[in-house]
Amino acid sequence: MNYKKIEHEHYNLHVIQTDKFKTIKMEVYLKRLLKKEDITKRNVLVNTLLESTKKYPSRRLLEIETEELYDLGYKGSNYNSGKYTILSFNISFLNPKYTEENMDEKSISFLNEILFNPNVNNNMFNQKNFDMAINIMRDHLESMEENAALYSQIKMLEEMDDSIISYRSSGYIEDLDKLNPKDLYEYYLDVINNDIVDIFVIGDIDVNRIDFLIENNMLFKNNNKSKESHYYVHEEIPSSIKEVKEKSNKEQSTLVIGTKFDEMTDFEKRYVLSIYNYILGGSTDSNLFINVREKNSLCYYINSSIQPLLSIGIIKAGINSKDYDKVIDLVKLEIDNMKQGNFNDDKLNNAIVSYINSLSELEDNPSSIISLYTCLEYLNGDLIEDRIKNIKKVTKEDVIKLANKIHLNTIFLLEGSDDNEEE
């Protein structure tokens, strides 16, 4: 596998050459610093651009064209990455050696059509396509209220902080109601002309040809190539713990606990934190799973996860509300046990082995490989060989040192009726 970065005036091109796949995958990232008022716009913008273009003024016509391109796949999304928000558009198509000559050019032209030739009249998006995108977004936002685990996590994060930590990545209904086709088109122009752009391509490809095709299709104008870190660092971490409870019509209660991390070293962010999380609650042999669920039968489920870019950790559990105090006490105990080093070497070794095993699957998928190189570009990350070397360096002392930088901060309980006491 060969990697080459080509710096153009308005974007950076990242080419990953490999003969492992019969397809070529191309991903375009447009990013800017995260602002709350942009989130809903960017989510609706993705849906609107994927609904139609000038040349293909309906979703059906877009789909027909993908069939002509040997079942080309195309997707778009918007997500938060620490201090940034990123729009992603990608296509996946068969290598021309298995189809027809110049199918790579036609496929890239299809993505050009989506990005640069939207279905616009009188400086506004087509009303019908705009309405469809709005309805998709509204249905999604309203359905989130019914997902107790997701809703509880959102509420906990909003109680935890009023910084970017609290921002809902899916957007806000109140912002949705303010949007119109004209304003969204103006925002689209702002994105196309001002977002930072990186383009990744992977497959059995000729670098010079793919560079030429992209240069003639990806007509971005931005000259900004900011290197500001994606990582968010807390200005301060209060010593007090915030507890919030909210009544629900659900039967089961949902508990979400948030922790904040003091400023970490690069090694701790990339390696030690994953090992810490695996031991605490990131696996079925974790301390939380065994001691809260298995030994004490105090929850239906319990697990922990980490968001290194935001310097936070999240513990989620399904419980009976009557067991709230017992569960909290045990969670606090397990967090303290990590600080005291009350875990054996087997836990550490199992975590390291699990981490290495998960890496072995990454090179089997074009999207995962692109993610590796995206991490390299945006987060100064390591490739697989270096990751394996570094994860093997993590010691128990490293985990203990990191554990003492982690502070319980916010507890949110979505309190159900708990009529069913059985697991």
Q: How high is the mean pLDDT of the chain?
A: 94
Give the pLDDT confidence score for residue 38 in this predicted structure.
97
CB 237 within 8 A of CB 408: no
Q: Which residues pair with 303 in a beta bridge?
A: 316
What is the mean predicted confidence (pLDDT) over 317-339?
A: 96
CB 296 within 8 A of CB 352: no
Can you give the three-state secondary structure of 111-138, one letter per residue?
HHHHHHCECEECCEECHHHHHHHHHHHH
Q: Indicate the residue type of 102.
A: N
Per-residue pLDDT band at 420 (split at 50, 70, 90): very low
What is the strand order of the sheet 242-247 is part of? 242-247, 406-415, 253-261, 312-319, 301-307
**Residue among 235, 228, 220, 240 at smallest CA distance from 87:** 220
- Kindly calculate the radius of gyration of the chain based on its CA atoms and give it in whole angstroms: 24
**Residue among 312, 293, 110 at smallest CA distance from 213:** 110
SS3 136: helix
Report the C-alpha gap between 275 and 347 in whole angstroms: 9
User: N- to C-terminal Cα distance for the chain?
Assistant: 49
Predicted structure pTM score: 0.93
CA distances from 66 to 106, 163, 199 (A): 10, 41, 21
Judge whether residue 422 has pLDDT over 50.
no
Q: Which residues pair with 3 in a beta bridge?
A: 16
Query: 422: which 2 tokens?
Result: 């059985």
- Phi first, then psi: give them for residue 407, nearest 5 degrees: -130, 130
SS3 385: helix
Reduced DSSP (H G I as helix, E B as strand, rest coil) percent helix, strand, coil of the chain, to 5 = 45, 25, 30
DSSP string, 275-342: HHHHHHTSSTTSHHIIIIIITT---SEEEEEEEGGGTEEEEEEEE-GGGHHHHHHHHHHHHHHHHHT-
Give the pLDDT confidence score for residue 242 in this predicted structure.
96
**Residue among 210, 80, 251, 87 at smallest CA distance from 157:** 80
Give the pLDDT confidence score for residue 254 in this predicted structure.
96
**Residue among 300, 270, 281 at smallest CA distance from 372:** 270
CB 231 within 8 A of CB 269: yes
SS3 344: coil
Q: What is the pLDDT of residues 266-302, one digit of tens each?
A: 999 999 999 999 999 999 999 999 999 999 999 999 9
Q: What is the pLDDT of residues 3-55, one digit of tens each?
A: 999 999 999 999 999 999 999 999 999 999 999 999 999 999 999 999 999 99
Q: What percent of the chain has pLDDT over 90?
A: 91
Report the C-alpha gap between 275 and 29 in whole angstroms: 30
Burial class (CB in 10 A: 0-12, 13-18, 19+), 239: exposed
Domains of the chain: 2-215 (3.30.830.10), 242-415 (3.30.830.10)
Report the C-alpha gap between 176 and 223 in whole angstroms: 30
Query: 310: which 2 tokens?
Result: 């935001």
Q: What percent of the chain has pLDDT over 70?
A: 99
Residues 6+ away with beta carbon under 8 Å from 358 = none
- Phi first, then psi: give them for residue 113, nearest 5 degrees: -60, -40
